[in-house]
Amino acid sequence: MEHRLLQSFVAVAEELHFGRAAKRLNISQPPLTKQIQRLERELGVALFERTKRKVELTAAGSVLLEEARSLLQQTEAATELVRKTERGETGHLSVGFIDAAIYSVVPAIVERFTRSYPDVTLELSDLRIPDQVRGVSEGRLDVGFIHPPVSGKHLAIETVLVEPLMIAVPQQHRLASHAEIPLAELANEALIQFPRSINATLYDQIIGLCQSSGFSPRIVREATPKQTIIGLVSVGLGVSLLPKCLENLKRDGVIYRAISGSNLSIDTSIVYRSDRVRPVTRAFIDVVRAVARENYCKVDR
């Protein structure tokens, strides 16, 4: 049965008047009469009892009315679901992020996206950069939040936030009273850093920055995630060089200070497959761009 014939039948069945039903459907009465006659021929039953004074449903017509309403509702629901999917308003989205991003860009982006797209199931995973790149490349992740550079076939990278490196020191540390700290002041300090396997590029940049300041860093402990590093700093086991966003991790006993002189800029970016951008992925990327423009476009480089 054609969708159009069922719509016409329901209109006549509810109005019990061909003229009113035709007006409701925005068509003239003769085509409507022909549609009902065609439907009756297809079914081999009479759906209406017609007299000059009234139109009534037959027993078969009453049964069809309930079924037709249900079918039309299902069709409308399916149509809307398809349209919402095409607009990126429903479906499943898998997003990975580095631990630092949860203290910078991820919360605002997730809040905006879930508010704007409540019917999308959003799965979030705290993953190392290599795992994210592999997940995006293999299609298990839709989007990742990473520190570049990364490379891979069809991988697109977009910067979300650029922030400086900071020094985290214990509250009672001799350097805590400084507004800014020259990096050379850390020459004899015990450093607590993330392992090189977490982010080899940033790790090497930090080592290089220290060496350009005249010393080789004395890394006494490696720890992950960065919350653990901050915890170790808070109890006086050393100092650490970390992205500025870690200031948002409020921890008693830790002071964050800017580095005076030359410094590193740390780039947080999204990575996704440029050849596999589903509508729901595109919607998420649009939210990322909007939040970045509104909140992070004026960060110090």
pLDDT attached to residue 262: 82
Same-domain check for residues 152 and 248: yes
Mean pLDDT for the stretch of residues 108-133: 95
Q: What pLDDT, on a 0 to 100 scale, did the predictor assign at position 300? A: 36
- Distance between CA 73 and CA 50 in Å, rounded? 27
| Per-residue pLDDT at 82 | 77
Q: pLDDT band at residue 52, thresholds of 50, 70 and 90?
A: confident
Q: Are residues 233 and 109 in the same domain?
A: yes
Same domain assignment for residues 41 and 97: no
Distance between CA atoms of 187 and 211, rounded to whole angstroms? Answer: 10
- Total of domains in the chain: 2
* Rounded Cα–Cα distance for residues 213 and 136 (Å): 37
Residue 45 and residue 108 share a domain: no
> Is there a single domain that holds both residue 18 and residue 116?
no
pLDDT at residue 77 in the model:
78
Could you tell me if 69 and 111 lie in one domain? no
pLDDT above 80 for 269: yes
144 shares a domain with 8: no
Residues 193-229 pLDDT 10s: 999 988 889 999 999 999 999 999 999 999 999 999 9
| Domain endpoint, select from 61, 86, 111 | 86
What's residue 164's pLDDT? Answer: 94
Q: Which residue among 86, 116, 147 closes a domain?
A: 86
Residue 51 tokens read as 């007299």
Alpha-carbon Rg for the chain, nearest whole angstrom, is: 32
In this predicted structure, the answer to whether residue 290 has a pLDDT above a threshold of 90 is: yes
Q: Which residues pair with 243 in a beta bridge?
A: 165
The mean pLDDT value for 1-26 works out to 91
Q: pLDDT value at position 299?
A: 36
Do residue 293 and residue 235 come from a single domain?
Answer: yes
Inform me whether the pLDDT recorded for 288 exceeds 50. Answer: yes
CATH number, residue 31:
1.10.10.10
> In the beta sheet, which residues pair with residue 102?
none
Picking from 86, 102, 117, the residue at the C-terminal end of a domain is 86
Same domain, 165 and 243: yes
Average pLDDT for 160-169: 95
* Model pLDDT for residues 225-249, shown as the tens digit of each residue: 999 999 999 999 999 999 999 999 8
- Give percent above pLDDT 90 in the chain: 81
| Strand residues in 171-264 grouped as ranges (E) | 180-182, 190-193, 218-222, 240-243, 254-260
pLDDT of residue 297: 53
Strands 143-146 and 265-273: antiparallel
Burial class (CB in 10 A: 0-12, 13-18, 19+), 291: buried
Q: Which of 201, 183, 185, 203 is nearest to 193 (CA)?
A: 203
List residues bridging with 254 in a β-sheet: 170
**Whether residue 101 sits in one domain with residue 44:** no
Q: What is the mean pLDDT of the chain?
A: 91
Q: Does residue 229 share a domain with residue 204?
A: yes
pTM: 0.73
Asked if 126 and 60 sit in the same domain, the reply is no
Average the pLDDT over each of 76-80, 153-157, 160-164, 193-197 and give the range with the smallest value.
Answer: 76-80
Eight-class DSSP state of 202: H
Q: Which residues span the domain enclosing 131?
A: 88-301
Q: Could you tell me the CATH number of the domain that includes residue 244?
A: 3.40.190.290
